[in-house]
Amino acid sequence: MFSFRRSAGVLAVISLLSFGALAQSTDSSSSTPAQEQPQGPAAAPIQQGQQTVQARIRARREARRAQAIHDAYSHLYEVFVGGGYQRFTPGPGLQRVTMYSWDVAVSRFWTEKLGLTFDGRGYYGTAFVGLRPNNGNITRPAISTYDVLVGPTYRFRMRPKYSIAGSVKGGVAMSNFASDTNGFGTAVNGLYPDGTTYAINASLIGEVNISPSLSLRLAPDYMATGFGSTLQNDLGFTYGFVYRFGKQ
């Protein structure tokens, strides 16, 4: 009897020791993956740190871009010097002629976008009038027009390397059609009479920046004039250099 109770006690102790070892092994194996792959609060700071670095990079890039735009378009004055091209009707019933011009404009800006432009131009060409009775055998007299314009200029797209603007100007246009007719006048040659009339101009201005203070300009152009009490609708373009100076 004593032997049986002793054997039962030994078996009970061995069973308890085996169960404890098995439980410890299970806990150890289940805790290892949790240490190798952190989840929950442990992973959040890593992702948050990466997002913070990217945000700082984007912020620095935007700051450099904004500074470059400010350096280019915060000047107080802008001077344009260049030339132009225009298809012009010199008289009723005459074909259009090609006119080449010089163009000088000065702009004063109150903001980076809005300014006021004063523009002076001279156009020169040769009109084809054909051989007409009593016109002294004149077929291709030289003609010229001169425009003085003023109006607002507005930049509606500004980038560090380029800008796009629009300008609408009004003023006066003066003609010199009779000087090359050898005294036979404009009426005999079918040209508009010399005179001063209104001029309305609209331009779409594109500029490519060489530096913050210097750029190249190309501007498609529309000009309306009233020579001979009629309306001339002429298309062309201007081109040249722009120099900016002064600070707003």
- In order of 146, 166, 188, the CA distances from 221 in angstroms are 16, 10, 31
Short-list 163, 179, 223, CA closest to 197? 223
**CATH architecture of the domain with range 74-247:** Beta Barrel (2.40)
Annotated domain spans of the chain? 74-247
Indicate the pLDDT class of residue 28, thresholds 50, 70 and 90. Answer: very low
Give the Cα separation of 22 and 34 in Å (integer): 20
Count CA within 13 A, CB hemisphere, residue 141: 30
Q: Where are the beta strands (DSSP E) in 159-195?
A: 162-176
pTM comes to 0.75
Distance CA 221, CA 1 (A): 122
| pLDDT, tens digit (0-9, with 9 covering 90-100), for 69-90 | 989 999 999 999 999 999 999 9
DSSP 8-state code for residue 132: -
Pair of tokens at residue 230: 């009629």
Statement: residue 143 has pLDDT above 90: yes
Q: Region 130-152: what's the mean pLDDT?
A: 87
- For the chain, give me the number of helices (H) and strands (E)? 3, 8
Confidence of residue 139 (pLDDT cuts 50, 70, 90): confident
Q: State the average pLDDT over residues 106-123.
A: 97
- Phi/psi for 89 (5° steps) reads -95, 110
